[in-house]
Amino acid sequence: MEFAVDQHVEQGVNIVKVSGEIDVFSSPRLREMLLDVIEKGPLRLVVDLGDVTFLDSTGLGVLVGIYHRLRARNGSMAFVGANERVRRVFHVTQLTKIFVLHDTLEEALAAEREDSRAGS
């Protein structure tokens, strides 16, 4: 599957769907695209990893970098649809302690609504 990033806004949340393999080759493009997305859209970001077939530490580094940028601007970041193999990489790096991995987009959007209400 070709590496690709699609973005749309739903219920005030920036939803980014990533497809393909995230590795040292594709990570710079992912970083560039995510920076562009959070520059132009809402700072509440949900990254859909449902079509990601491979994720390594380089990709995780990009996601952590974006997370820090969002946090600095009172934004948020969550994930949805990660398969077991992708989840494993989050687990071994203990990033599940700071990132929420939702099963469905509906669940992620509901959590965002809840956070938004709690923060307002």
Partner 1 sequence: MPAEMPADTKAAVRDMVTVKLPADSAYLSVLRTATAGLAARLDFTLDEIEDLRIAVDEACAMLLAQAVPGTDLECQFELTGDAMRIAVSVLTVDGVEPSRDTFAWTVLSSLAGDVDSTVGADDRVTVMLRKRRGAAGAQ
- Binding positions for partner 1, rule: CB under 8 A: 21, 23-25, 54, 56-58, 60-61, 85, 88-89, 91-93
- The least distance separating partner 1 from the CB of residue 69, rounded to whole angstroms, comes to 18
Residue 17 vs residues 51, 72, 114: alpha-carbon distances, Å? 8, 23, 22
- Looking at the Cβ atoms of 34 and 108, the one nearer to partner 1 is 34
- Looking at the Cβ atoms of 35 and 89, the one nearer to partner 1 is 89
Whether residue 113 contacts residue 81, with contact meaning beta carbons closer than 8 Å, is answered with no
- The least distance separating partner 1 from the CB of residue 85, rounded to whole angstroms, comes to 5
Q: Who's near 71: CB < 8 A, 6+ residues apart?
A: 77
- Looking at the Cβ atoms of 94 and 120, the one nearer to partner 1 is 94
Cα–Cα distance for residue pair 78/90, rounded to 1 Å:
12
Cα–Cα distance for residue pair 48/4, rounded to 1 Å:
12
- The least distance separating partner 1 from the CB of residue 76, rounded to whole angstroms, comes to 22
- Looking at the Cβ atoms of 59 and 108, the one nearer to partner 1 is 59
